Amino acid sequence: MGKIKMAKNPPKIDMTPMVDLFFLLLIFFILTATFRPQEAVAVDTPSSNSNTTTPESHVITLTVSKDNLVFFNIDNGTDSSEHLRAKVLQAMGSQYSIRFTPAEIKRFEALNSFSLPIAKMKDWLDAKDAKTRDAMHTGLPMDSTDNQLLMWIRFARQYYPDFEVALKGDRDADYKEVKKVIDILQDNNVNKFNLTTNLEADKVTLDNI
């Protein structure tokens, strides 16, 4: 007599918890996402088997592009309240007796790496769009008569002595140029470098001998 009773109600799955979870994750990822800022120059970094990651903040990034231009970039500190970029720019301005308006300083904080003499910095900041800005990267003076790269690094370290240095060279950049940058850094008593590379695992065993 006992018949198996089938469930009458249609099998409806409540998806609300799943959707809730989706949104939660979405919000988490949106908030934690750090976008790679648009670089002034595309750099194809060499690969290594090192698995260390770049430090989060307080990094001086020195980029050596394919055509051997050296780009300088520092970040603004852990959060934007430190205004490290602004301080360094003002220090550079007073060193070379250039006055930057507050608007220009603000724009500098939002911008990225550059490779141009300090005399042209005002034009660069006042440039209308990114295209004209990119066309202005003619090289940062770094010879013995006018070593602006040295000054930039010096002022950056003055405001935050523990800046890490990331050296990001293109695989086809000349080592001579990179060596020049390394020498300038060593003049500033920076002896620890982070060479930015791509990860490429390479395994060796004793059989390789």
Contact residues toward other proteins (CB under 8 A) are 15-16, 18-19, 22-23, 25-26, 29-30, 32-36, 45-54, 64, 166, 169-179, 182, 186, 189, 191-199, 202, 204-206, 208-209
121 vs 89: CA distance, rounded Å = 10
CB of 27 to other proteins, least distance (A): 10
Select 97 or 191, whichever has its Cβ closest to other proteins. Answer: 191
Q: Which of 72, 111, 117, 116 is nearest to 96 (CA)?
A: 117
CA distances from 106 to 24, 80, 119, 173 (A): 34, 11, 18, 32
CB of 208 to other proteins, least distance (A): 6
CA distances from 55 to 61, 77, 104, 163 (A): 11, 12, 28, 10
CB of 89 to other proteins, least distance (A): 25
Beta bridge partners of 64: 70, 169
Select 22 or 78, whichever has its Cβ closest to other proteins. Answer: 22
Select 70 or 118, whichever has its Cβ closest to other proteins. Answer: 70
Select 5 or 176, whichever has its Cβ closest to other proteins. Answer: 176
